[in-house]
Homo-oligomer: A and B are copies of this chain.
Amino acid sequence: MLNKGMSDETVNLGFAALADPVRRAIIARLSRGPATVNEIAEPFEISLQAVSKHIQVLEHAGLVTRTREAQRRPVHLNPDALEALTAWIDGYRLLHEQRFRRLDALLAPDATPAPRKEPS
């Protein structure tokens, strides 16, 4: 496997964290800059406690981190962890594409397009 130094468990947690629309909306919010839990929770109709739990899932997956700044504990996006997940997907997607390009080259060495077959 092309694992790019990530453990299976880290990849499991990362993708599982992204499989929820509230957590993805939190990622979208944090892409515009760090925010406190209260600021993040503001547009959601769910409880502050529920939002806080979603942030914990993202933090456990390494997708966000929390810092301490005076009285605030803003949540920050971790772009490296997001990049590691896209790198995992893209590794196999590109392998698949390369294979198809090689097949195309084998099947059409003179680059003449095959006549299109109409559906019957």
| A residues in contact (CB < 8 Å) with B | 1-2, 8, 11-16, 18-21, 24-25, 27-28, 30-33, 77, 79, 82-83, 85-86, 88-90, 92-93, 95-97, 99
The complex places the Cα of A27 from the Cα of B30 at a distance, in Å, of 30
Query: Which residues on B sit within 8 Å (CB–CB) of A30?
Result: 96
- Asked if A28 and B92 sit within 8 Å, CB to CB, the answer is yes
- Asked if B31 and A99 sit within 8 Å, CB to CB, the answer is yes
Task: Report which of B86, B95, B96, B99 forms a contact with A93, defined as CB distance below 8 A.
Answer: B86
Task: Report which of B18, B28, B97 forms a contact with A79, defined as CB distance below 8 A.
Answer: B97
For A15, A28, A30, A99, the residue with the greatest tally of chain B CB atoms inside 10 Å of its CB is: A15
